[in-house]
């Protein structure tokens, strides 16, 4: 039996189309599955078939994808099926599940994943929702979509509007998981709490104890999935290759325990009640020697191991490029932003607030993705501290020694230690005589200000949805301007043209070159001050086997195994 | 008595209507839908959600609809945060865990505080009194978070680590009396320690005030023992402030203790409410606030009734 922590309160819903957070993802993808998944042990991340018998074939023009479903994949046994026996997954289930993302009645959180992607799908969505709104009829799931073509029960084609590289990544995201129509129709509103999928584990409604835990059991009819043989060299030493070829899942029972506060999670780990823990910031010094970042000897003696993961974070302070004072693309306007950027010392933030554990880098592409600059340092860089150059650029911008520059309005949320961070930020900028008026507001107010383009300067963050820098570069694409994801309201036609090119390009050195060009373009324009990404540390109890920390996907409990819980080698 | 209760209820109706009006207005100062849906929500989705929850209708209509639901105890509206879960079911499932902590805590705190308060008053000015007041002040000066952190560390973690016996749970809750001590006793003890500081000082002051009254002097002059005067005559007469203190606490029994529930993973009302506030779960916040306001009014009326029961001089007229 696995006992794993979920560092949050209950997931909101187990209906894939209603999920959005990492916690929803963790809870949902034990039960539901997507067409493709990430290879568990391979880094950088790669995709492999999950509900497919092989990866889809893609036409030369990259518009047509042909899929073959794996035969014999059964839904969990459930009263929604005749005789209570789960039936086989077929093409119609895939189309039905994706169409649910288009139905506003389902309160879908992730329509944007398929928006502007599949031929005829946006039109279908518009037409169906309009008909529902005008009370003409209910949402018609049987109506055809040009780009979704059934060949037979196990084969289908998807025609894209234009080549979109991210389509394959989207198919690995839990929101596109496949659900059976019978269950949705039978359970209605309760479907989000009564999951019926094809996943490695099943979850009964009564085993979801609100505010407490979720108890999953091994799916006895789980389709043939095996522990991977493909791995990285370090996996051998870590003992993660011993179960290669074994049928999944490896355990009979999985418990996800909810922890709203860090102390109970930490103490539960230390008493062996959970199998691993993330290391909360306030316990970092308890677990690691700060200087060397080595695990403390007492933990090593107990057989506890540690792992760390760099998150696909882009934490920044952004400028509204439409702002009269701080926005604009003229040389003087650019120099003002560059000067501000050069006055900020992100390493000081890192040391003061994150024990030096975060990664600090140039540009919007986080570590681990194509386009990330070597060692985080790009050729074009306005990362501080370089006060001399900052003062020079400030003078060239028309504000020698900061004279004549009005007080800058800076918005940030009141979450976490932002009050203290803002004090440091103000102090750093005061060194070049820039006066900041910090507005520390509720996160909702911050969003509202950014959406309405009322925040000239703001603290924000972006977590990549999938491991492709295209996702981050979309943040500067002008059609995505606020209230879209382009919070900077960045608008350069040349950048837009490049983005439209890379969107459809498969990975290649040529595409990486374009990523770098786009990255340097936004650095040169100094649309933001950045960047920073979090590093998450894990401690693993000695009885947990095969654990390889990741924050990019969450269906890995099926690969985990446990020996005797509570027995430490030192005992 | 019933006519009094009914009259008071009628008297409080406009107050309650005003409270609800205020709550609804405050919750709508910022668009609750836009706040809840977050930064990536499209205007289309915001509009659709607003329409689905009736927030596009005139305020007066929304007010009337909500009042109707309250009057008919219709809590079938779904949580925004937990689709498929009604507000009513959230209240139902979290009320017992809250009461499992708050009722024993209130009973114990009241009994112990009155007892300590009386002892303190009995030895007024003496070393015992000073020591008890010192401990009470010390108890209330320390943050509840300190008690929780120490309680979890020493009471739950260290005992288990040293003895292998799990006396108290680090966090969690299981329904059933047999599990109560394991999951609830530690938070109850912490709650009692924190509240006792305040209550002891309050009850001591009440008792000290009573000791100066004429009837006490008369009783003592008649030769009644000091102990009997304290525990029979004085306690009876001190019931009015005691009742007031207890009754004020009653609504908080239902809402639970937010901090304790959060730290001990107890799925009670306080935790549900704070989670709803954090995630801007509008229907839950609105319904919980309305229920809490109603409970507060009921407790005020009950307080008046209790006054009459404990003090024959007070008539419900």
pLDDT for the residue B316: 58
**For residues B291, B293, B294 and B295, what is the CA-based torsion angle, rounded to 10 degrees?**
90
Contact A258 B82 (CB under 8 A): no
Cα within 13 Å of Cα(A199), Cβ side: 32
Mean pLDDT score, A263-274:
93
Tell which residue, A566, A552, A547, has the closest CA to residue A251.
Answer: A547
Distances (CA, A) of A40 to A178, A238, A471: 20, 14, 22
Backbone angles phi, psi at A503, to 5 degrees: -55, -30
Locate A72 and state its tokens.
Answer: 């014999």
Locate A199 and state its tokens.
Answer: 């996943």
Cα–Cα distance, A530 to A528 (Å, whole number): 6
Cα–Cα distance, B180 to B168 (Å, whole number): 10
Decide: helix, strand or coil at residue A538: strand
Q: Name which of A550-564, B169-183, B244-258 the model is least confident about.
A: B244-258
Nearest to A212 among B45, B160, B267 (CB): B267
Locate B137 and state its tokens.
Answer: 């002040």
DSSP H helices in A57-103:
91-100
Confidence of residue B83 (pLDDT cuts 50, 70, 90): confident
Confidence of residue B228 (pLDDT cuts 50, 70, 90): confident
How far the first Cα of chain B sits from its last, in Å, is 8
Contact B81 A104 (CB under 8 A): no
Cα–Cα distance, A525 to A77 (Å, whole number): 57
Tell which residue, B4, B223, B152, has the closest CA to residue A271.
Answer: B152
Distances (CA, A) of A391 to A62, A319, A385, A529, B152: 50, 19, 11, 16, 52
Please determine, for residue A372, whether its predicted confidence score (pLDDT) is greater than 90.
Answer: yes
Please determine, for residue A357, whether its predicted confidence score (pLDDT) is greater than 70.
Answer: yes
Backbone angles phi, psi at A437, to 5 degrees: -100, 100
d(CA B190, nearest CA chain A) in Å: 16
Cα–Cα distance, A55 to A69 (Å, whole number): 10
Which of B33, B44, B83 to mutate to test binding with chain A, by most A CBs within 10 Å of its CB? B83
Residues 280-299 of B with CB under 8 A from A: 280
pLDDT for the residue A75: 98
User: Scanning every residue of chain B, which has its alpha carbon at the shortest distance from the alpha carbon of A209?
Assistant: B267
Mean pLDDT score, B89-97:
90
Which residues on adjacent β-strands are paired with residue A471? Answer: none
Contact B261, B98 (CB under 8 A): yes
Cα–Cα distance, B283 to B218 (Å, whole number): 59
| Residue with the larger pLDDT of the pair B4 and A555 | A555
d(CA B177, nearest CA chain A) in Å: 18
Pairing of β A408-413 and β A64-68: unpaired
Contact A261 B84 (CB under 8 A): no
Pairing of β A2-6 and β A253-258: parallel
> For residue A260, which residues of chain B lie inside 8 Å, CB to CB?
262, 265, 271
Q: State the count of interchain CB pairs (< 8 A) between A and B.
A: 101
Residue A253: how many other CB atoms lie within 10 Å? 14
Condensed to tens digits (0 to 9), the pLDDT of residues A400-449 reads 999 999 999 999 988 778 899 999 999 999 999 999 999 998 777 788 78
Which of A3, A10, A12, A105 to mutate to test binding with chain B, by most B CBs within 10 Å of its CB? A12
DSSP state letters, A114-135: TTTTBTTHHHHHHHHHHHHHTT
Contact A264 B49 (CB under 8 A): no
pLDDT for the residue B38: 65
Decide: helix, strand or coil at residue A226: strand
Condensed to tens digits (0 to 9), the pLDDT of residues B271-298 reads 888 888 877 888 899 998 888 888 888 8
User: Scanning every residue of chain B, which has its alpha carbon at the shortest distance from the alpha carbon of A258?
Assistant: B265
Q: What is the DSSP letter of B78?
A: B
d(CA B87, nearest CA chain A) in Å: 14
ipTM attached to this prediction: 0.79
Contact A146, A63 (CB under 8 A): no
Nearest to A191 among B34, B41, B84 (CB): B84
Residue A104: how many other CB atoms lie within 10 Å? 20
Condensed to tens digits (0 to 9), the pLDDT of residues A94-108 reads 999 999 999 988 888
pLDDT for the residue B281: 85
Contact A212 B265 (CB under 8 A): yes
Contact A16, A31 (CB under 8 A): no
**What does the buried/exposed string (b/e) look like for B138-163 if buried means 16 or more CB atoms within 10 Å of the residue's CB?**
ebbeeebeebbeebbbebbbeebeee
Locate A400 and state its tokens.
Answer: 């020698």
pLDDT for the residue B210: 85
Mean pLDDT score, A35-42:
97
* pLDDT, mean over chain B: 86
d(CA B286, nearest CA chain A) in Å: 18
Cα–Cα distance, A305 to B43 (Å, whole number): 47
Is the backbone of residue A355 left (phi > 0), alpha (psi -120 to 50) or beta? Answer: left
Locate B163 and state its tokens.
Answer: 């003895």
Confidence of residue A382 (pLDDT cuts 50, 70, 90): very high
* CA–centroid distance for A42 within its chain: 18
Cα–Cα distance, A227 to A168 (Å, whole number): 23
pTM metric for this prediction? 0.85
| Residue with the larger pLDDT of the pair A50 and B290 | A50
> For residue A261, which residues of chain B lie inside 8 Å, CB to CB?
171, 262-263, 265
pLDDT for the residue B317: 55
Please determine, for residue A171, whether its predicted confidence score (pLDDT) is greater than 70.
Answer: yes
What residues contact B3, with CB distance under 8 A and at least 6 apart?
none
Cα–Cα distance, A336 to A390 (Å, whole number): 9
User: Scanning every residue of chain B, which has its alpha carbon at the shortest distance from the alpha carbon of A9?
Assistant: B275
Confidence of residue B232 (pLDDT cuts 50, 70, 90): confident
**What does the buried/exposed string (b/e) look like for A301-339 if buried means 16 or more CB atoms within 10 Å of the residue's CB?**
ebebbbeebbbbbbbbbbbbbbbebbbbeeeebbbbbbb
Decide: helix, strand or coil at residue A531: strand
Task: Sort A217 into a burial class: Cβ within 10 Å, 0-12 / 13-18 / 19+.
Answer: middle
- Sign of torsion, CA B286 B292 B296 B297? positive
Please determine, for residue B39, whether its predicted confidence score (pLDDT) is greater than 70.
Answer: no
Mean pLDDT score, B131-137:
89
Tell which residue, A225, A132, A128, A139, has the closest CA to residue A181.
Answer: A139
Q: Does B72 touch chain A (CB under 8 A)?
A: no
Condensed to tens digits (0 to 9), the pLDDT of residues A291-323 reads 888 999 999 999 999 999 999 999 999 999 999
pLDDT exceeding 70 applies to what percent of chain A? 99
pLDDT for the residue A571: 58
Decide: helix, strand or coil at residue A37: strand
pLDDT for the residue A121: 97
Q: Does B30 touch chain A (CB under 8 A)?
A: yes
Is the backbone of residue B213 left (phi > 0), alpha (psi -120 to 50) or beta? Answer: beta
Which of A11, A267, A482 to mutate to test binding with chain B, by most B CBs within 10 Å of its CB? A267
Confidence of residue B11 (pLDDT cuts 50, 70, 90): confident
Please determine, for residue B270, whether its predicted confidence score (pLDDT) is greater than 60.
Answer: yes
pLDDT for the residue B143: 87
Decide: helix, strand or coil at residue A62: coil
pLDDT for the residue A22: 85
Per-range mean pLDDT, top range of A207-211, A518-522, B158-162: A518-522
Confidence of residue B165 (pLDDT cuts 50, 70, 90): confident
Tell which residue, A560, A539, A24, has the closest CA to residue A283.
Answer: A539
Cα–Cα distance, A28 to A10 (Å, whole number): 12
* pLDDT, mean over chain A: 93
Largest pairwise CA distance in chain B: 83
> For residue B40, which residues of chain A lie inside 8 Å, CB to CB?
112, 484-485
């Amino acid at each position: 039996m696995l006992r794993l922590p979920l560092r949050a309160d209950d997931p909101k819903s187990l209906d894939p189309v209603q999920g959005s957070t990492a916690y929803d993802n963790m809870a949902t993808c034990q039960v539901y599955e997507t067409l493709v998944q990430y290879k568990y042990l391979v880094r950088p991340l790669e995709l492999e078939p999950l509900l497919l018998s092989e990866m889809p074939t893609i036409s030369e023009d990259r518009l047509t994808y042909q899929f073959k479903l794996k035969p014999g994949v059964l839904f969990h046994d459930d009263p929604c099926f005749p005789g209570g026996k789960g039936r086989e997954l077929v093409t119609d289930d895939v189309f039905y599940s994706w169409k649910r993302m288009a139905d506003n009645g389902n309160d879908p959180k992730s329509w944007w994943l398929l928006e502007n992607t599949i031929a005829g799908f946006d039109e279908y969505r518009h037409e169906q929702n309009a008909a529902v709104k005008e009370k003409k009829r209910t949402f018609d799931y049987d109506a055809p979509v040009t780009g979704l073509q059934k060949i037979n029960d196990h084969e289908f084609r998807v025609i894209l509007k234009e080549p979109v590289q991210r389509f394959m990544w989207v198919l690995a995201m839990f929101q596109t998981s496949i659900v059976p129509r019978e269950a949705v129709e039978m359970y209605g509103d309760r479907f989000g709490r009564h999951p019926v999928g094809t996943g490695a584990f099943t979850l009964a409604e009564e085993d979801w104890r609100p505010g407490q835990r979720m108890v999953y059991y091994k799916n006895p009819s789980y389709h043939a999935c095996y522990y991977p043989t493909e791995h990285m060299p370090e996996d051998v030493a870590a003992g993660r290759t011993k179960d290669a070829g074994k049928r999944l899942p490896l355990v009979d029972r999985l418990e996800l325990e909810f922890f709203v506060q860090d102390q109970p999670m930490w103490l539960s780990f230390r008493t062996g009640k959970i199998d691993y823990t993330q290391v909360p910031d306030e316990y970092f010094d308890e677990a690691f020697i700060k200087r060397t970042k080595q695990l403390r000897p007492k933990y090593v003696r107990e057989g506890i191991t540690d792992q760390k993961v760099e998150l696909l974070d882009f934490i920044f302070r952004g400028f509204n490029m439409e702002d009269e004072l701080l926005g604009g693309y003229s040389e003087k306007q650019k120099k003002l932003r560059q000067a501000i950027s050069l006055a900020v010392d992100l390493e000081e933030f890192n040391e003061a607030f994150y024990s030096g554990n975060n990664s600090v880098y140039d540009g919007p592409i986080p570590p681990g993705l194509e386009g990330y600059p070597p060692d985080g340092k790009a050729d074009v860089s306005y990362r501080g501290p370089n006060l001399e150059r900052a003062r020079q650029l400030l003078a060239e911008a028309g504000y020698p020694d900061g004279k004549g520059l009005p007080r800058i309005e800076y918005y940030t949320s009141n979450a976490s230690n932002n009050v203290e961070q803002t004090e440091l930020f103000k102090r750093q900028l005061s060194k070049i005589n820039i006066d900041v008026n910090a507005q520390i507001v509720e996160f909702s107010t911050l969003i509202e200000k950014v959406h309405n383009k009322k925040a000239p300067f703001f603290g924000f963050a972006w977590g990549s949805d999938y491991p492709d820098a295209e996702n981050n570069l979309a943040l500067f694409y002008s059609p995505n301007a606020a209230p879209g994801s382009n919070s900077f309201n960045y608008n350069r036609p040349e950048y837009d043209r490049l983005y439209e090119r890379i969107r459809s390009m498969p990975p290649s050195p040529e595409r990486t070159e374009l990523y770098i060009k786009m990255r340097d373009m936004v650095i040169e324009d100094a649309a933001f001050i950045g960047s920073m990404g979090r590093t998450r540390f894990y401690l693993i109890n000695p009885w947990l086997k095969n654990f390889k920390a990741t924050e990019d996907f969450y269906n890995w409990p099926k690969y985990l195994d446990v020996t005797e819980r509570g027995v430490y080698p030192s005992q | 008595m019933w006519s009094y209760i009914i009259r008071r209820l009628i008297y409080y109706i406009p107050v309650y209507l005003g409270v609800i009006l205020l709550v609804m207005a405050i919750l709508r100062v910022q668009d609750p839908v836009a706040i809840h849906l977050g930064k990536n929500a499209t205007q289309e989705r915001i509009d659709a959600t607003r329409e689905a929850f009736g927030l596009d209708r005139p305020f007066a209509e929304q007010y009337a609809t909500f009042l109707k639901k309250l009057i008919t105890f219709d809590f079938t509206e779904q949580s925004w945060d937990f689709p498929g879960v009604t507000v009513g079911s959230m209240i139902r499932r979290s009320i017992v865990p809250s009461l499992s902590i708050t009722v024993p805590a209130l009973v114990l705190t009241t009994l112990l505080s009155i007892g300590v308060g009386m002892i303190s008053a009995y030895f007024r000015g003496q070393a015992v009194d000073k020591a008890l007041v010192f401990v009470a002040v010390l108890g209330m000066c320390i943050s509840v978070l300190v008690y929780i952190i120490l309680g979890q560390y020493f009471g739950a973690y260290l005992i288990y680590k040293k003895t292998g016996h799990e006396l108290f749970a680090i966090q969690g809750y299981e329904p059933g009396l047999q599990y109560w001590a394991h999951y609830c006793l530690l938070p109850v003890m912490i709650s009692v320690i924190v509240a006792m500081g305040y209550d002891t000082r309050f009850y001591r002051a009440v008792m000290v005030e009573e000791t100066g009254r004429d009837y006490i002097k008369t009783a003592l002059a008649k030769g009644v023992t000091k102990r009997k005067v304290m525990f029979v005559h004085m306690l009876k007469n001190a019931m009015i402030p005691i009742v007031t203190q207890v009754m004020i606490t009653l609504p908080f029994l239902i809402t639970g203790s937010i901090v304790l529930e959060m730290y001990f993973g107890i799925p009670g009302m306080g935790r549900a409410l704070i989670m709803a506030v954090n995630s801007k779960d509008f229907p839950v916040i609105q319904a919980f606030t309305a229920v809490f306001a109603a409970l507060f009014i009921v407790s005020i009326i009950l307080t008046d009734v209790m006054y009459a029961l404990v003090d024959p001089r007070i008539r419900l007229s």
